Amino acid sequence: MNMELTELTRALSAIPGPSGFESPVSEYIAEYVRPFADDVKIDVMGTLLAWKRCGKTGAKTVLLDAHMDEVGFIVTAVEEGGFLKFSTLGGIDARILPALEVKVLSEDGPLFGVIGTMPPHALKAGDSDKAVDADDLYIDVGLSQEEAEKRVPPGTPAVYAAGCDTMAGGRLCGKSLDDRVCAAIQVKAFEDLCGRDLNVDLCLMISTQEEVGGRGAVTGAWGADPDYAIVSDVTFDKGTDGKSVATVLGKGAAIAVGPNMNTAMTRELVRLAEEKGIPYQIEVCPGRSGTNAEEIQISRLGVATALVSLPIRYMHTPIECALPEDMESVRRLVAEYVASMEA
């Protein structure tokens, strides 16, 4: 079941797995890596660890991380008329919610739902100039209150009801590219490296609950006990996210520089990118990186950690956009780095 990077990204994007409810994603990835990994485990937090040992005495361990969870929703109450009150799992801008389509993950199968909106005909002057308040919004699954109480009890999660499409220029557009696209990149890098003669033991970690605070990476990194880690996550695009952003869609892998990252690893990544002609850009992170690199760097007694990011547009929406060329740059850079590591 060998899949190309974009194909694997699409497959992963289609799987519903909001923070705390990621098991369909980990099961899919476990099955994918099992044929070439030495060992695959899923820990108590749901984080997946897959190993490939080089068999050399005293080999160091390198961790490749990306997170598997996506932002989503969780039902908190069933209200009169069967409408569902909800909170978000992870950061979602309420301004995308009116008329949004969702997939409610009830135990007896997914239910389609829409977040209702007032008809423009019934609005008072000025109403439509105000941003909506998420507290006023509900998911409509077209069920009576009695039926909804039975099938969609509080605690039922939901995700965006969106697929992964291809836009002009080959750009991917879909839900949960944050961070399934980097999960696919790390899985493909791991797959590639499993076929090579390495000087290090390799551990692939696809972690849970990043969108609610890097929680799955905490236990996963402890279990993996690595010496080095390369984290891959999505980052922003200057074109749509504003002037404070330096990374640009289409300019290649974003190598992060800052206190959250190990300087020697970062410099080596830059050197390798130059040497191999892999498109890259520098992303300066003066403080927190907002990624699992934060948790992994201070795991156990400390881990030398690097962060190679992928710029995307419209993060945390159903229309996240990523470029296959950038994805390929990140994959190549991660794989080249690990392959070039000496004993």
Q: Does 287 bind another protein (CB under 8 A)?
A: no
Q: Does 156 bind another protein (CB under 8 A)?
A: no
**Shortest Å, Cβ 243 to another protein:** 10
Q: Which one of the listed residues 210, 283, 295, 320 is annotated catalytic?
A: 210
Contact 52, 335 (CB under 8 A): no
210 is catalytic: yes
Question: CB under 8 A: which stretch of 20-28, 40-48, 117-125, 298-306 binds another protein?
Answer: 117-125
In this complex, which beta carbon is closest to another protein, that of residue 81 or of residue 213? Answer: 81
Contact 66, 179 (CB under 8 A): yes
Task: Report 164-223 residues binding another protein (CB under 8 A).
Answer: 165-169, 171, 173
* Of the candidate residues 100, 269, 327, 335, the single one contacting another protein (CB under 8 A): 100
In 3D space, the residue among 181, 176, 209, 202 whose CA is nearest the CA of residue 46 turns out to be 209
**Shortest Å, Cβ 52 to another protein:** 34
Task: Report 14-53 residues binding another protein (CB under 8 A).
Answer: none
Mask for 46-85, x = binds another protein (CB under 8 A):
---------------------------------xxx-x--
Q: Are strands 280-284 and 253-257 parallel, antiparallel or unpaired?
A: parallel
**Amino acid letter, 105:** L
Rounded to whole angstroms, how far apart are CA atoms 52 and 64? Answer: 12
Phi, psi for 306 (deg, rounded to 5): -120, 155
DSSP type of residue 318: T
In this complex, which beta carbon is closest to another protein, that of residue 44 or of residue 122? Answer: 122
Cis peptide before 225 (omega within 30 of 0): no
DSSP type of residue 136: G
191-195-196 Cα angle (round to 5)? 120
In this complex, which beta carbon is closest to another protein, that of residue 52 or of residue 313? Answer: 313
Q: Hey, which residues are catalytic here? A: 210
